[in-house]
A and B are shown apart, each in its own frame.
Chain A
Amino acid sequence: MILDSLNDSAKRGVYSLQEFFVLAGKALGFIFVKPFYTADLFQQMDAIGVGSLGIVLLTGFFTGMVLALQSAVQLQTFGATDYIGRLIAGSMIRELGPVLAGLMVAGRVGSGIAAQLGSMRVTEQIDALNTLGTDPIKKLVTPRVLASLIMLPVLTVINDFVGILGGNVIAKFYLGKPAALYWRTVFDQMLSGGFTLHYIPNDFIQGLAKPFVFGGIISLVACHYGLKTSGGTEGVGIATTRTVVTASILILVVDYFLTQIILALFPS
């Protein structure tokens, strides 16, 4: 009995994974196939990018400030407070910027996408698209995935910048470091990680590759759970919760492996 139920749940898991990869393959493949739903793409870029700007600015700024505050205490014991800019820039650009922006967008946009597509599924709007001769993946999933792939790196850059700015505020008013010194150490950090193709700092590659992947994870997980919603409004709630939990966990897990890969491919 227990084995049977384990067998069933394993089969369901594998099937769901297969569905996810089929959806991902189709959604990404359709980016290059006509017709292009450009209006939908811009609408999604606005919803995902511009819509998330507020929370990204807030979380970035306060994370930068708290990071600087905590680090300042430690650095003071070593008399190394001049290097606070390096520490903030390194942490924000490589790790905190992408991961925080990813988690914020997973919470805000991922849940929104899952709820919207889930509602469309339970009110037969997805079936309506199909019957009107439109592929729902092309019309609904591809613009959301593409918009996330574009906008998450943009949001991350903004997040990085305001985080470093938050660090600047603490460096100036808590440690009394001049802004010029702070920003010089920030740039020192950016240039210290080595370059790819002579001009691209490795920190940037790490800091931009991650949100690109996270954008894909968030949108695809949200669309996957949204499209397979069943069971009315309760199903929409379940799809939304699953999306946020799965996307958040995946972001943290993938972040680790991605860091390993990037460090191996682009050594300092």
Chain B
Amino acid sequence: MTDEEDRRGKGERRVPNEKDETAMPRRARDSGRVRAAIRTELQEVAGENEDKQPSPAEASQKSVIALENVSLAFEEPILQNVSFTAKEGETVVVVGESGTGKSTILKLLLRLLVPDQGRVRIDNEDITHLTFDDALKVRQKMGMVFQGAALFDSMTVYENVAYPLREHTTLDEDAIEARVREKLTFVDLEPDKVMDQLPSELSGGMKKRVGVARGLSNNPEIMLYDEPTSGLDPLTTATITYLILKLQRELGVTSVVVSHDIRSAFRMASKIALLANKRIEFFGTPEEMTGSDDPYIREFLGGF
């Protein structure tokens, strides 16, 4: 006899919220559980974020990345009047539905694309109209982790991570190996196991981690991530999210993360930029976002 039948037999009245839950269709019930889990998680994150409140010194942090009224169109407008800043050590997560131009923002920061209007500043330097060679130099300040990791498949893991060092430093081979080992260890990989493997021999999560190690190898001031958790299982997603947090906390790297994974976004973000209708519809802290009454933001958060 189930509890319910038992209660019926005793003629007891059910507690209203129990009634609601059992009356709900299964999918709605699951969705309710997920939302409850997210709420709990957000509360935890809010707790964590309290530690991250900026000190007066931090409040005057310099702006490392700035998009100022950027507009870009190909055949159709992609971005219109988009602005946001990332201060030193901050992690800005750009969220939004698929196809809203999130990845385009990263390409603008890397100056792989030039905006039609507005400016992009890196370390207060306007990079909008740099020459190709000068743009290459600015890119050396940045590490980028691609959605599919974009490891060079003709090179081993070691050569991939060593690539930026060979290109832009005069380090000798011993120093390069030491750095490669350090970065692979930082991303929780065993250097001796993976160094000689080819990217095709790695799992998706390992590729992402090697991608992070390669992005980090030249000790960049800025890290950019394009959908770092897409296509990964929940455990690997958590690992990558933890890794980005670790980078932020231990190395103080300024980061811009493009993601549609709102849960990971809340875990790692200092600020969240919500991109919709070609504009930044919201830019603020995760707490401000959860406290917002804006129907679109409510719907966006509710969707998860």
Contact = CB atoms under 8 A, between A and B. Distances in A.
Pairing of A with B: yes
Interface of A: 35, 120, 123-125, 127-128, 130-135
A116 to B, nearest CB: 8
Given A132-B164, A133-B168, A127 B112 contact: yes
10 contacts: A123-B148, A123-B153, A124-B148, A125-B151, A125-B152, A125-B153, A130-B110, A131-B142, A131-B224, A133-B139
Interface string B127-168: 000001000110110101011101111000000000110011
B176 to A, nearest CB: 15
Given A127-B112, A127-B146, A134 B167 contact: yes
A133 B136 contact: yes
A133 B107 CA distance: 14
A132 B163 contact: yes
B163 A131 contact: no
A135 B139 CA distance: 11
B140 A133 contact: yes
A130 B112 contact: yes
Contact of B110 (A123, A125, A131, A135): A131
Given A130-B139, A133-B164, A133-B168, 9 more contacts: A124-B147, A125-B151, A128-B151, A131-B110, A131-B142, A132-B167, A134-B167, A135-B132, A135-B136
A189 B110 CA distance: 60
Contacts, number: 48
Contacts of A128: 144, 146, 150-152
Contacts of A130: 110, 112, 136, 139
Contacts of A35: 167
B139 A132 contact: yes
A125 B148 CA distance: 9
A29 B61 CA distance: 44
A133 B110 CA distance: 10
A120 B150 CA distance: 8
B199 to A, nearest CB: 10
B122 to A, nearest CB: 13
Contacts of B224: 131
Given A130-B112, A133-B167, A134-B167, A124 B139 contact: no
Contact of B144 (A120, A131, A134): A131
Contacts of A132: 139, 163-164, 167, 214
Interface in B33-60: none
A131 B147 CA distance: 14
A28 B107 CA distance: 27
Contact of A124 (B142, B146, B167, B168): B146
A104 to B, nearest CB: 24
Contact of B150 (A123, A133, A134, A135): A123
Interface string B207-218: 000000010000
Contacts of A123: 148, 150, 153
Contacts of A124: 146-148, 150
A258 to B, nearest CB: 33
A208 to B, nearest CB: 31
Nearest to B142: A131
Given A125-B150, A128-B152, A134 B112 contact: no
B161 to A, nearest CB: 11
Nearest to B217: A132
A131 B139 contact: yes
B3 to A, nearest CB: 54
A69 B171 CA distance: 62
A108 B107 CA distance: 34
Nearest to B164: A132
A190 to B, nearest CB: 42
A227 B201 CA distance: 26
A80 B232 CA distance: 75
A35 B133 CA distance: 13
Nearest to A135: B136
A128 B199 CA distance: 14
Nearest to A130: B112
Contacts of B164: 132-133
Contacts of B163: 132
A134 B110 CA distance: 13
Contacts of A131: 110, 112, 139, 142, 144, 224
A61 to B, nearest CB: 33
A265 to B, nearest CB: 37
Nearest to B136: A133
Contacts of B112: 127, 130-131
B139 to A, nearest CB: 5
A43 to B, nearest CB: 9
Nearest to A43: B154
Nearest to B226: A124
Nearest to A132: B164
Contacts of B168: 133
